[in-house]
Structure 1
Amino acid sequence: MSTHTSPCEPTGRVLVWDLPVRVFHWLLAISFAGAWLTSESERWHLAHITFGYTMAGLVAFRLVWGLVGTRHARFASFVRAPAAAWRYLKSLVTPTPEHPIGHNPAGALAIVGLLALIALTTATGWANENDLAGDWLEELHELGANALMLLVLVHLVGVAVGSLMHRENLVRSMITGMKRGPAAQGITRSWRWLGALVLLAVLGFWGLQWQTAPTPEQLAEATSAGQSGRDHDDDD
């Protein structure tokens, strides 16, 4: 079934994004921003790890929800070949641009890329944290993080362009879940309990990490011990 809005179809405000998708989106944005801002800080290293593990868990949830979730959350409803993305981008400069009610084909490719890069970055970060490889893996982790930031910027530009071309606030739609489209293309259930469960799971994980975080005195002792070890190695 087509998910494009036809000029002949009556349109109104319909529910497109269920609550789990919206909660996932904003928690992922917060976690990525937090991980990026704490990436170079020894003091905030635990926060960096916490945000990274949160991203990994969110991606795992999204992969499952992309298979069994609501209509516009399922990958089958929006993931298309690169040719479809190119056709969509070309339509933006025409008088009648394509206007999918869910993710557009270009945005879908960005989403797939984001999920893949997050999986790569969090996996290499976990491996580095557990000393499973050498410097090359740390460099791969940094490369993945930089590529992820670049794709996030591309995604933000795409959201801005899509909002202007379609005269619809796409950021607001990811808050309310509502978009303009035919009633037949909307979803009937928001799955509020599942969205709340995802939010509580993340907040609970953050709270657990906070409770087990080392005190400033412990951090100072660990830093001092690490410095003493390096000095001893230099003497040898």
Structure 2
Amino acid sequence: MGFLTAVIMALGIAVFVLFRRTRKTASSTTVHSTIEGMRAVGDLSVFKVYTKEIVTELDHSWGDFGKKYLDWIYSSKKMAMIFEFEIEFRYDLRTRDFEIIETGPGAYILRMPPCFHEINIRNIEFYDEQRSRLLPWLLPDLLNSFLGAGFTEEDRNKLVSAASNHAKQRANAMIDKLSSEVEASAKQTLHAIGQSFGAQSLTFVFKPTGESRAHVSIGEQVRAAA
């Protein structure tokens, strides 16, 4: 009787240990598969900066046509240009560059893809110092005075392109300075997402900012003026 009892107890312990190991493995697999679900987030917006500047100096970013137009505005009409744009920092979690590496139960390394910068020109206006009023940057009267009746679609596109180039140059000057804040915001956001998926520890590896790419878009107000 004692021998039979010992055998039953041994079998019970073996089943219990096997159950614990199976449950632990299943739990780890479940967490990992759920962490992989982070890819479904797609484009993750982690940081946004909005800036407004008064353009007082013309540089090469405006191109010859843009500089000629704006220089004429400054010198002949005594107007100042107010330039508004925003930069949104995103990570595309669907790309293969986003890697999730399990280092232990509930612990992962996230190798981040390059940061993608969305640059949006929100508005461009001229401030008429003599009359203390704001004017659209492509006001027909100004264009007719500058170009006569020959203002074409190509001319308009040149001015819009010049504004886009200027926004990109200004944004690029800010991006490197903001990289640490962007990465800190990305960590905070992904930590919250990872914890909701059951991850206990996340370590991040970021790619250099220099590998990033930028996209410039034109806001509705600027399009309307154009």
Instruction: Give TM class, smaller chain.
Output: under 0.3
Q: TM-score, normalised by structure 1?
A: 0.21
Computing the radius of gyration over CA atoms, which structure comes out larger, 1 or 2? Answer: 2
Greater share of helix: 1
Q: Which has the higher strand share?
A: 2
Q: Looking at both structures, which has the greater relative contact order when contacts are Cα pairs under 8 Å and sequence separation is at least 6?
A: 1
- Give the TM-score, by structure 2 length: 0.21
